[in-house]
Amino acid sequence: MSRPRAAIVVTGSELVRGDRNDLNGPFYAREALRLGLEPTRIAIVGDQPDDLQAAIEQGLEADVLLVSGGLGPTHDDRTVELVAAAVGRGLVLNASLEHEIGEVSRTFATRMRRPYTDFEPGVRKQATIPDGAISLGLAGTAPGLVIDTGSCVVVVLPGPPSELQRLWPRALETEPIRSVLAGIVVPSRRVLRVYGVSESAVARALDDAGGDGDGVEVTICARDFELHVDIVAEPGAEAAADALISRLRAPLVESVFSEDEISIEELVLDACRRRGLTLATAESCTGGMVAARLTSVPGSSDVFRGGVVAYANEIKESELDVPADALAAHGAVSAEVAAAMAHGVRRRIEVDVAVAVTGVAGPDGGTPEKPIGLVFLHVVGPDGELAQQFELPRDRDWVRSRATVAALHLLRRLLTPAS
């Protein structure tokens, strides 16, 4: 079944230089899939007019073109004028937008103690839009726009992700977008989330299960040290998808930890919440990354009480009650110290469950006995405790990120032993 196609163009020289990661392209793609559109490409281009114009013109071949960035008041913000040229529309000053943007800019000028005249050219630039464009209003000073060309609906939103995501629901309410989406039967989507098994093992299990096809599409993606098996079923193929999932799940049952989009940190917090347990962290090489993942979840404060980043040995002793003789005998990177850290933070913060991480992240500090990439984890709770060790020599960021995910999954195993 053919679905309307969506092309995505994200602009910003800071993105192509690697100064900032693109968040808008993935957001657009996820939303397109959710709505039943078929994303065909994500183009990330700089602010050079020729590059941006070529990306826009290519994107207009799709049914929907989703654009972000380049809507500011400066000379290198060219998206609106290039979109207008590509769709054959002139530019007009929108009086309502000029007033709305002007009010925001006047407030800013007052706060900065600068004359409003400094801002007037930028206000006029941002209020000048393609003839016939639908204004979505503001999330900052840049307006969101929807343009219906007859063959393609163009959505243009600001580059800051928070602004784009605030204006996106307004774009979905416009008649051109509603018209494209009318009659689409959104494919069903399931996700098997797998941890602790190789990608080749999952691919082999999929092949043994019969593979995809006949309206079922399966994609295996490595994401944040987990494997996500995305199963998309076109209308009428739901039963085939269910049968494939059942056959695929069987050989992976010990590794499948979730069948939805809930993150590992949410699973840990939910497991604690269901049992009325509180949680704390003790971290050395990860420097608070486990705590950061947990506290990134809204509402985590009803479970997570706090954490201790104990980098130096004296902090491990004074704040976590790690015995000096354990440090002397085994070293800071050891199973014994990881266990002492977990028990220490559990006592100090007075929680039910605790996790500890200690390791050699590099690039310095490794020895033949304790090489870079050696990490020890320990979790303790009312039902007992678990320990884990891994040695995977990679770069510093990789080791720290891998240790963070491993700590969260070790917590999950302790809290949900049947999974």
Element (H, E) at 29: helix 24-35
Query: How far are the Cα atoms of 29, 80, 99, 164 from residue 69, in angstroms, in the given order?
Result: 16, 10, 22, 9
d(CA 91, CA 244): 53
- Assess whether pLDDT exceeds 90 at residue 225: yes
| Span 212-233, average pLDDT | 93
Statement: residue 419 has pLDDT above 60: no
Q: What is the DSSP letter of 287?
A: T
Q: pLDDT (tens digit, 9 = 90+) per residue, 254-309?
A: 899 999 889 999 999 999 999 999 999 999 999 999 999 999 999 999 999 999 99
Q: Average pLDDT, stretch 147-151?
A: 97
The string of pLDDT tens digits covering residues 50-59 is 999 999 999 9
For residue 343, which amino acid is it? H
What's residue 401's pLDDT? 96
For the chain, the C-alpha Rg in angstroms (whole number) is 26
The pair phi, psi for residue 226, each rounded to 5°, is -115, 165
> What is residue 99's predicted lDDT score, i.e. its pLDDT?
94
**What are the start-end ranges of the H helices in 132-213?**
161-172, 175-181, 199-208
* Residue in this structure with the two tokens 């987990």, named with its chain if needed: 226
* Residue 10, pLDDT above cutoff 80: yes
- 1 pLDDT exceeds 90? no
Contact 204, 229 (CB under 8 A): no
Residue-range domain boundaries for the chain:
5-181, 188-258, 264-415
- List the single range of 84-98, 263-277, 307-321, 361-375 with lowest mean pLDDT: 361-375
pLDDT at position 261: 83
Q: Do domains 5-181 and 264-415 have the same CATH topology?
A: no
What confidence score (pLDDT) does residue 75 get? 85
- Written as one string, the DSSP assignment of 267-280 is HHHHHHHHHT--EE
Q: Is 68 helix (H, G, I), strand (E, B) or coil?
A: strand
Is residue 417 very low, low, confident or very high in pLDDT (cuts 50, 70, 90)?
confident
Average pLDDT over all residues of the chain: 95
d(CA 289, CA 402): 11
pLDDT score of 164 more than 80: yes
Share of the chain above pLDDT 90, in %: 89
3-state secondary structure of 133: coil
* Under 8 Å between Cβ of 358 and 338: yes
CATH 3.90.950.20 applies to domain 264-415:
yes
State which H helix or E strand residue 233 sits in.
Answer: strand 226-233
Q: Say if residues 277 and 286 touch (Cβ distance below 8 Å).
A: no
Across the range 168-175, mean pLDDT stands at 98
pLDDT value of residue 180: 97
Stronger pLDDT, 394 or 290, i.e. the higher one: 290
Q: Is the pLDDT of residue 392 over 90?
A: no
Residue 366: pLDDT band (50, 70, 90) is confident
Residue 31 clears pLDDT 80, i.e. is over it: yes
How many Å apart are CA 282 and CA 266, to the nearest integer? Answer: 19
Token pair listed for 81:
């004028």
User: What does the angle CA 215 – CA 216 – CA 219 come to, to the nearest 5 degrees?
Assistant: 140
Residue 365: pLDDT over 90: no
For residues 358 and 333, give the distance between their C-alpha atoms in angstroms, rounded to a whole number: 6
The two three-digit tokens of residue 304, written as one number: 């997570």
The pair of three-digit structure tokens given for residue 157, joined into one six-digit string: 């939103």
User: Is pLDDT above 60 for 321?
Assistant: yes
- Taking residues 155-175, report their average pLDDT: 97
Q: Which is it for strands 226-233 and 216-223: parallel, antiparallel or unpaired?
A: antiparallel
Residue environment code for 360-393, b if the CB has 16+ CB neighbours within 10 A, otherwise e: bbbeeebeeebebbbbbbbbbbeeebbbbeeeee
CATH of 5-181, picked from 3.40.980.10, 3.10.105.10, 3.40.50.300, 3.30.750.24, is 3.40.980.10
In a 10 Å sphere around its CB, with 0-12 CB exposed, 13-18 middle and 19+ buried, how is residue 222 labelled?
exposed
The per-residue pLDDT for range 102-142, each reduced to its tens digit, is 999 999 899 989 998 999 999 999 999 999 999 999 998 89
Contacts (Cβ under 8 Å, ≥6 apart) of 320: 282, 308, 310, 340, 341, 344, 345, 348
Q: Does the pLDDT value for residue 387 go beyond 70?
A: yes
Counting residues of the chain whose pLDDT is more than 70, the rounded percentage is 99
Q: Which CATH number fits domain 188-258: 3.40.50.11290, 3.30.70.2860, 1.20.120.1200, 2.30.130.30?
A: 3.30.70.2860
